[in-house]
Amino acid sequence: MTDKDVVSQRAAEAFGVDHHENVIGIPKIMSDGGPETIRFIDQDGQRIRNEVNLPYDPYVDRMTEEDGQRLYRDMALIRRFDAEGTALQRQGELGLWPGLLGQEAAQVGIGRAMRPQDYAFPSYREHGVAWCRDVDPVNLLGMFRGVNNGGWDPNEKNFHLYTIVIGNQALHAVGYAMGIQRDGAYGTGDADRDAAVVTFFGDGATSQGDINEAFVFAAVNQSPIVFFCQNNQWAISEPNERQTRIPLYQRARGFGFPGVRVDGNDVLACYAVGQHALEQARSGQGPFLIEAYTYRMGAHTTSDDPTKYRDSAELDIWRDRDPLLRLKTFLLSLHATRQEFFDAVDAEADELAKRIRKECQEMPDPSQEQLFDRVYVDDHPGLAREREEFFAYQAGFVDSDQASQEGAR
């Protein structure tokens, strides 16, 4: 049976069985990224060796069973955290939540390839990268609960605050990478000093001027940066074919630096290619583009309804490519990892969910004074004047309330 037959069959089944999922028009044929896609584990959990993978094989060959288990644990815990984020929003505890279901391998793979001195510039969906940079998951909820602007120190974690403006973080990232160049913190051969930057964005962001401008500045300056595009097939409701006529990784060639496509549902591939790209950047060989070919299994955010614009048959195909199931099958078949390991991870995920739910609901409301914190590094007379005016205005309401109470007496 061909891929087309499978899609058609599943679409037909959806009409008769799954009435809560709409099927829009003719089902699209969702490829696996094509023969140029770097992939180390197939859907059955078997190790792949081919010419495309050859430059990256050593990174995977050096990995142990414990390395694979750590990557699985990362993905499983961040998936559970993400599910809890969605539940908290549905219950009125968060104003919005952007889920990452299906993209765990892409984020954990590159996240674990980074060194402590590397710096990450995320968009707003990089919960898995935040986890790898030791950002407490509870802090990720604060902005979406409306009680802080991020909740973590970017310079402590080398993980910038979430950026809502699409593509804007790429320009910030290139600027930081150019700073690394001026500090001489790359190309020295010192593994503890040489640093690089990774910036994260989706396929939709590649249509923004900010991304293309960042490519220009990074290329002409040979900056130590890795552009990591999570191609999850949909820019909210716009599919890939409405955004580009060529594979996204090929765009790098026009700017003068290398680009590759990796299976974004294969954590080993994302880890290996991420290590290679970062080593090139740190050593002074310039920027690198990685297109992680994956799929957004859920909605764009909790305010989105994907049944209005995509086929349920797509979900069936990508469920079979689930990144956690693929790595679990690999560990069970090749390394004979015992089931007890997976049971322990599930139990740990349950405890994580309980903690983040409790701490999210206990987050204090911010004080009014915090409006003026961390606006400027040094004291600023204009800001000081605005602070005085603001609190004088607020004090007027207190005086009015007191006067009303005294008048009532």
Average pLDDT, the chain: 90
User: How confident is residue 407, by pLDDT bands cut at 50, 70 and 90?
Assistant: low
Judged by DSSP in three states, 200 sits in strand
Q: What is the 3-state secondary structure (H, E, C) of 43-95?
A: CCCCECCCCCCHHHHHHHHCCCHHHHHHHHHHHHHHHHHHHHHHHHHHCCCCC
Judged by DSSP in three states, 41 sits in strand
pLDDT at 233 exceeding the cut of 50: yes
pLDDT digits (tens, 9 = 90+) for 68-96: 999 999 999 999 999 999 999 999 999 99
pLDDT digits (tens, 9 = 90+) for 288-343: 999 999 999 999 999 999 999 998 889 999 999 999 999 999 999 876 789 999 99
Q: Which residues lie across from 197 on neighbouring strands? A: 119, 225
What is the chain's alpha carbon radius of gyration, rounded to the nearest angstrom?
A: 23
Q: Can you tell me the distance from the alpha carbon of 218 to that of 255, in angstroms, rounded to the nearest whole number?
A: 9
User: How confident is residue 285, by pLDDT bands cut at 50, 70 and 90?
Assistant: very high
Q: What is the reported pLDDT for 401?
A: 58
Q: Which residue has the tokens 């809502």?
A: 164
Q: Which residue has the tokens 């939540």?
A: 97
Mean pLDDT of 34-61: 94
pLDDT at 269 exceeding the cut of 60: yes
Token representation of residue 387: 């602070």
* pTM of structure: 0.88
Token representation of residue 340: 């007890």
User: How confident is residue 25, by pLDDT bands cut at 50, 70 and 90?
Assistant: very low
Strand pairing class (119-121; 238-239): unpaired
Residue 368: count other Cβ atoms within 10 Å of its Cβ: 11
Q: Can you tell me the distance from the alpha carbon of 197 to that of 227, in angstroms, rounded to the nearest whole number?
A: 8
Mean pLDDT of 21-45: 74
User: How confident is residue 226, by pLDDT bands cut at 50, 70 and 90?
Assistant: very high
The amino acid present at 262, given as its one-letter code, is: V
CA dihedral 75→77→82→83, nearest 10 degrees, is 110
